[in-house]
């Protein structure tokens, strides 16, 4: 089943097309934990590895962040690495960096060659253009993301978010919502289905929490190209162990062709 005509290649991984990718987060508090988690996760062979650097206690020490990123690169091999600093307002950790310092760190890690993708939040608005320029200069893919932790807005709002992220130059657009009812889950899936026909970039969408679990397993049938699964520790509500995600995806692939 062709779920998306918008495909990008990151190392040897194709994001989009006919197969969903599985991304697994690493959320260690220090370099030892990060690298140990990464080694455990990579043995499970995810398609993508996400380093949630907002969990890293020494995030304000650029040299330690870069050294840890290089260690991750050695462990991951050809598995693409997504670098994410999630702000507290979008479900991340409170960190001792202001927005300008976050952008400086992103620029440094892009220039290091250790990572392949960067997640940056739609809420930063026009500042996204600065990150877009630095990622392009370094050959890094940019994910622009929007998270709703208080509920699920209308389909029109979600599609508008995705359009806005694409206008800012996103290589991949990501939206996550918190459903309060099964109807909210349907809103997210309907927005995904509509946006995949309109936008020219791959989409990642999900509904968080127990109600939204189905979107992490079957969202790709509506146009979501990546699902986030647990390899060691969860980084968001409702993430499912990679083994279970892989099993369900294999069944859905079998009967959805």
Residue among 243, 242, 235 nearest 51 (CA): 235
Please give the Cα distance from 146 to 128 (Å, whole number). 13
Task: Judge whether 171 and 208 are in contact, CB under 8 Å.
Answer: no
Q: How far apart are CA 136 and CA 102, in angstroms?
A: 17
| Count of CB atoms situated within 10 Å of the CB of 140 | 22
> Could you tell me how far CA 120 lies from the centroid of its own chain?
10
Residue 94: burial class (beta carbons within 10 Å; 0-12, 13-18, 19+): exposed
Identified catalytic residue from 44, 70, 155, 174: 174
- Choosing from 147, 155, 197, 254, the catalytic residue is 147
Q: Is 174 a catalytic residue?
A: yes
Closest CA to 105 of 33, 170, 168, 56: 56
Please state at what angle helix 99-112 crosses helix 128-138, rounded to 10 degrees.
10
Residues with a known catalytic role: 147, 174
């Amino acid at each position: 089943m062709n779920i998306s005509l918008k495909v990008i290649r990151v190392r040897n991984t194709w994001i989009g097309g006919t197969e969903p990718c599985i991304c697994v987060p690493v959320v260690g508090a220090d370099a030892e934990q990060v690298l140990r988690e990464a080694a455990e996760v990579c043995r499970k062979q995810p398609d993508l590895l996400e380093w949630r650097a907002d969990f890293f206690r020494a995030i304000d020490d650029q040299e330690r962040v870069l050294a840890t990123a290089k260690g991750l690169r050695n462990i991951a091999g050809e598995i693409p690495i997504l670098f994410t600093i999630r702000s507290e307002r979008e479900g991340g950790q409170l960190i001792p960096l202001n927005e300008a310092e976050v952008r400086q760190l992103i620029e440094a890690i892009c220039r290091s060659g250790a990572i392949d993708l960067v997640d940056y939040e739609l809420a930063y608005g026009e500042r996204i253009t600065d990150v877009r320029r630095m990622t392009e200069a370094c050959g890094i893919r940019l994910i622009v993301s929007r998270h709703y932790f208080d509920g699920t807005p209308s389909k029109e709002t979600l599609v508008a978010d995705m359009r806005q992220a694409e206008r800012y130059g996103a290589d991949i657009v990501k939206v996550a919502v918190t459903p309060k009812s099964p109807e909210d889950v349907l809103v997210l899936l309907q927005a995904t289905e509509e946006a995949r026909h309109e936008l020219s970039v791959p989409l990642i969408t999900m509904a968080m929490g127990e109600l939204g679990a189905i979107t992490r397993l079957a969202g790709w049938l509506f146009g979501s190209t990546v699902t986030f699964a647990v390899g060691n520790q969860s980084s968001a509500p409702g993430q499912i162990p990679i083994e279970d995600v892989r099993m369900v995806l294999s069944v859905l692939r079998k009967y959805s062709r």
